A and B are shown apart, each in its own frame.
Chain A
Amino acid sequence: MGPKEIDWNKLTAIIAKHKKEKWGLIPLLQEIQELIGYIPPEAIEPVAEALNIYPSEVQGVVTFYSGFSLHPKGKAVVKVCRGTACHVKGSRSILKLMKKELDLEEGETSPDYQFTLETVACLGACFLAPTMMVNRDYFGKLSPTKVTTVLGQYSKDKGEQ
């Protein structure tokens, strides 16, 4: 299974919606990121043309904000917190375990586009340390068993679809 197909019709519609908008770039990129899960590099030039700005500027914005990505990501994006509180509570071994379980390094996406592994500085839930986030869900007070269960839950999704 590859990354999600790019729906060019929808993408073109989003671009058209924001055409010539003065501060349209960030909302436009957010919509694309939402729709496709990343910003396809091929979309940069059409976006720039619609907003009458340079493609290099669009790229600059995409690569500046961590909320945007130029690469397709997995269906489940796992963000392991590496902030201070989590570190004290052993997030290093959580990350190690995660790498082993998923067979991924930080920033990598599995070949079947199921998982992407990332780290973040602080998830803002230090009272639950160590923490991680999968897509929009938080998981706290992690232990090796809990990690395996959560991962299992997301791998199971694979079977269903």
Chain B
Amino acid sequence: MPVATVGLCVVEDEKTGRVMASCVTPVVSEMSVRTDTPRVKIHRKNILRLMIAEHPESCVVCSKGNRCQLRQLAAQLGIGETHLYPMPNYKTLEQANPFIIRDLSKCVLCGKCIRADHELVVVGAIDYNLRGFKSRPSTIHDRGLEHSSCTFCGTCLSMCPTGALSPNNPGYTATPERESFSICGFCGVGCGLAMGYTNSRIVEVNPANRPDTVNRATLCVRGHFAHDFLNTHERLLQPMIRQHTGSDENTMAPASWDAAIDVVAGRLLEIKSKNGSQSVAFLGSSKCTNEENYLFQKIARALLKTNNVDNGSYLSGRHVINLLEKRTNGLSRLSPLDWLEKAQAVFVLGADPGHSTPVVSYYLKRASKKGVPLVVADSIRTDLAAFSSAWLDVSTQSDFEGSYIELLNGLAALLYEKKAHDAHYIKQFTEGFKQYSDDLSTLDREQVSLATGIDVGVLNATAELLKGKKIAFVIGSGILQQRFGMQTMEAVINLSLMTGSLGSEGAGIHILAKENNQVGAQDMGAVPDALPGRQPLYNDSDRNRWEQFWQTEISPQSGLNMIQMIEAAEKGNLKGLYILGENPLRSLPQPDRVRKALAKLDFIVVQDILNTETVQIADVVLPGAAFSEKGGSFTNMEGRIQSFDPVVPPPGDAHPDWEILGSLAAKLGDPNQYASLGHIRDEIRIRVPMYKALDRHNHTAWVAVGDHRQSDKDTKKTKTMVSFSPVVPGDIDIGDELSTTDYPFTAIMVSVRYHCGSGTRTGCSDRILKLGLRGEIELSPQDGETLSIRDGDTVRVVSSSGAIKRQVRFNKRLRQGTISIPLAFNGNDAMNLLAMTQPDMPDSPGWKTCRVKLEKI
């Protein structure tokens, strides 16, 4: 809706000669307007002259430069001198925060920033304040943005037509020379970026604002400002090889690419021939491209004959996602986010997209504003609670993670009781409903209320809200990484089937992906138990096809996952490890233990872009390229395959990772020469049915839905029957529970929007660092009082695995007995608190929470 604020859109009515603002004048029949009559031009010119007269002289050094629409229009209308008495309207310049400079003396009051803030990202940090000459967009109490609810997404900044809002960019204050399209390398939303560069250096990032992107005109603070890490001193610039200079001494020495690749190929083959192919492993990357992950796992499987391949997605609940994939025959792979705004109802479970995947939260809040009912269940009150129709504050008692199961089953039982199940759908597409509904009938709702800590009345109201609707689910790390992730996912699938939701538009199961290409890395087979295209190793026909194609034998046995690799290294069974763009010393629990295990290896290659903790212990370091320095494709959480070209060349002697892997493959004897990205992409397109839409052009493509074996013959994908799973109670006996007297608190690991994953990259971003966040743990004031801890005190947090020190901040909204610990701070030290277990094993307590005690220091 246009709002008529600036008045430059004037047109003239041909009949009456009236001059009017075109944006708010309704079109009537027989109307005829002219857009460039002399009168219109004079009006426009006068309005613009007034605007310029009000503008300050700092206009000449404005960072908007020639992108300023005021200057562009002045040029077009031929306004040089305004011939008006200058009356600059000085307002305070605000630049206390590291991201956005507000110089409201340049504001033309167009209101675009306010609309971006209210309508696109739905934050509401700013609105018009005051009237007349004094009027301007302002935060509450007119304080700096850093004291408001602003998330520094920068969406308003990219919208602002003048220099009133400009990026706080100490390194560069002009218009970038050129701009190219790319895809954000942080989270799994995969936002389209317009990356501005000057002299091969990325100097500014804005939303690509293209209709074929997931984010359109929005971004989050990471996408907008955290790409500073691309230019950090910590970038790796040349290959290095560890040289032994004495019996116990060694140094890293620069090497040529040929020498480095020689050493890597030579050592890996040597280890393999000496200790067998199970003694080498490949840890791939949820941040590298599809093409790179494909080559990487091919090197492992076809050239070193091992299934020991994994990537960081293992840490983000891949076992839960696998379960969904398997149970629904791949029907839920496709989940476009714009479905959310068309949904009948959305159920958000254990997800805090406002921090983990901010653009998803914009979609949800916009949906809510449009009237889509949002049900939000979490154990910590998130930003979404305020936008929800039902906020379900899931209890955090000691074994609370099972309460999500109770909650889902309880709601299903209530819906069944209200006869709100989709009988037609159930009959046509599902199996096992009889058993399921019988189980539901036996559920005691008082018990559900007790287990979840949610009032029976609230449960009832929620069921009423969901009645008769298809439900879209949004699932976050609160489910994916917790102890009962799989059981909870079963309950979600049951509810989705019962309401006739699964497989229809607007009722997807959206899995929040924390890493930009965790979906693609899995699709490309950089996992120990599946081949490219999510084809399970144990499936003979799939495996045989790849064996034929690669001219090799592939074991049907799964290889080692990330944690098993560490355990094998500890035991001395693993000898060589190739790490591509992962930082296990920072992302895995118990970093000391990981360090000791890796020290036992004979040979470690690390291919990365930054000088990480893990690079420090490598024998060979191969400098790769960041996403903006190479071409390729990423697959986002929606199943959208997005291709991109390099924006700038890699720094120093760094190379695109696919090139490095291509030379290594050749050196290891691969007969295929991967001389260009196109070769790799052709191979993927032909061999991986899920990716048949991937071509050599940079189109957005979508993964193919459903099981390829069926979709090849039978295109009616919905014919696949999906079965209900039996109802499991939430009070699963976990047996090994730590005593609540020794460890009285439940610590929940949370993400903050300023960091991505373990913070390796965002921790190298100047402007994120400048913000000076300390990553305080949060605690309820009541608990603080009991322990005589004050807001701002430093405490030791102790679990059965380790301890960390942090400052405390009170949060009134936390339940007593719960604390939250932000990830990615202080070298991601929070991982010291978690036990290194395999999250997919039944006895694993998961990675989302742990029991802790607090000690005052």
Q: Which residues of A contact B (CB under 8 A)?
A: 41, 44-45, 49, 52-57, 59-60, 63-64, 66
Contact = CB atoms under 8 A, between A and B. Distances in A.
Nearest to A65: B131
Contact of B127 (A41, A49, A54, A66): A54
Interface string B114-150: 0000100001111111110000001111000000110
Contacts of B138: 56, 59-60
A56 B131 contact: no
A45 to B, nearest CB: 7
A77 to B, nearest CB: 19
A52 B141 CA distance: 18
23 contacts: A41-B141, A44-B140, A44-B141, A45-B140, A52-B386, A53-B124, A54-B123, A54-B125, A54-B127, A54-B149, A56-B127, A56-B129, A57-B118, A57-B127, A59-B140, A60-B128, A63-B129, A63-B130, A63-B131, A64-B128, A64-B130, A64-B131, A66-B131
Contacts of A52: 386
A68 to B, nearest CB: 11
A59 B127 contact: yes
Contacts of B118: 54, 57
B129 A55 contact: no
B127 A60 contact: yes
A62 B240 CA distance: 64
Given A63-B130, A64-B130, A56 B386 contact: no
Given A44-B141, A54-B127, A59-B141, 14 more contacts: A45-B140, A54-B118, A54-B123, A54-B124, A54-B125, A55-B124, A57-B124, A59-B129, A59-B138, A59-B140, A60-B138, A63-B130, A64-B130, A66-B131
A54 B117 CA distance: 11
Nearest to B139: A56
B374 to A, nearest CB: 13
Nearest to B142: A59
Nearest to B126: A56
Nearest to B131: A64
B148 to A, nearest CB: 8
A56 B140 contact: yes
Measured as residues with beta carbon below 8 angstroms from the partner, the interface class of chain B is 10 to 19
A56 B130 contact: no
A81 B404 CA distance: 65
A60 B127 CA distance: 6
Interface string B823-841: 0000000000000000000
A60 B123 CA distance: 15
A55 B138 CA distance: 11
Contacts of B125: 54, 56
Contacts of A45: 140
A118 to B, nearest CB: 15
A55 B148 CA distance: 10
Contacts of B148: 56
Interface string B179-216: 00000000000000000000000000000000000000
Interface in B141-166: 141, 148-149
A45 B131 CA distance: 21
Contacts of A59: 127, 129, 138, 140-141
Contacts of B131: 63-64, 66
A53 B125 CA distance: 11
Interface string B509-545: 0000000000000000000000000000000000000
- The 7 A-B pairs of least Cβ separation, nearest first, read A54-B124, A56-B127, A60-B127, A55-B140, A60-B128, A63-B130, A57-B127
A33 B129 CA distance: 18
B731 to A, nearest CB: 36
A38 to B, nearest CB: 14
A41 B125 CA distance: 16
A42 B811 CA distance: 19
Contacts of A64: 128, 130-131
A41 B127 CA distance: 15
A44 B129 CA distance: 13
Contacts of A49: 386
B128 to A, nearest CB: 5
A60 B137 CA distance: 9
A54 B118 CA distance: 9
- Which of B124, B127, B131 neighbours the largest number of chain A CB atoms within 10 Å of its CB? B127
Nearest to A57: B127
A59 B137 CA distance: 11
A75 to B, nearest CB: 25
Contacts of B139: 56
Nearest to B122: A54
- Which of B129, B148, B149 neighbours the largest number of chain A CB atoms within 10 Å of its CB? B129
Nearest to A55: B140
Nearest to B125: A56
- Which of A44, A49, A57, A60 neighbours the largest number of chain B CB atoms within 10 Å of its CB? A60
B145 to A, nearest CB: 11
B370 to A, nearest CB: 15
Contacts of B129: 56, 59-60, 63
Interface string B411-430: 00000000000000000000
Contacts of B124: 53-57
B749 to A, nearest CB: 28
A41 B143 CA distance: 12
Contacts of B141: 41, 44, 59
Contacts of A44: 140-141
Contacts of B127: 54, 56-57, 59-60
Contacts of A53: 124
Contacts of B140: 44-45, 55-56, 59
Contacts of B128: 60, 64
A52 B149 CA distance: 15
A63 B137 CA distance: 12
B477 to A, nearest CB: 28
Nearest to B140: A55
A49 B386 CA distance: 9
Contacts of A66: 131
A82 to B, nearest CB: 15
A125 to B, nearest CB: 24
- Which of A54, A57, A64 neighbours the largest number of chain B CB atoms within 10 Å of its CB? A54
A26 to B, nearest CB: 15
A60 B386 CA distance: 21
A29 to B, nearest CB: 15
Contacts of A55: 124, 140, 149
A41 B129 CA distance: 13
B269 to A, nearest CB: 63
Nearest to A61: B127
- Which of B126, B131, B140 neighbours the largest number of chain A CB atoms within 10 Å of its CB? B140
Nearest to B387: A52
A52 B118 CA distance: 13
A11 to B, nearest CB: 18
B807 to A, nearest CB: 25
A4 B621 CA distance: 71
A40 to B, nearest CB: 11
A16 to B, nearest CB: 17
A49 B140 CA distance: 13
Interface string B207-243: 0000000000000000000000000000000000000
A59 to B, nearest CB: 5
A150 to B, nearest CB: 29
A63 B140 CA distance: 11
Nearest to A45: B140
A152 to B, nearest CB: 34
A66 B128 CA distance: 15
Nearest to A42: B141
A57 B118 CA distance: 10
Contacts of A41: 141
A145 B123 CA distance: 55
A49 B139 CA distance: 16
Contacts of B126: 56
B389 to A, nearest CB: 11
Interface string B603-629: 000000000000000000000000000
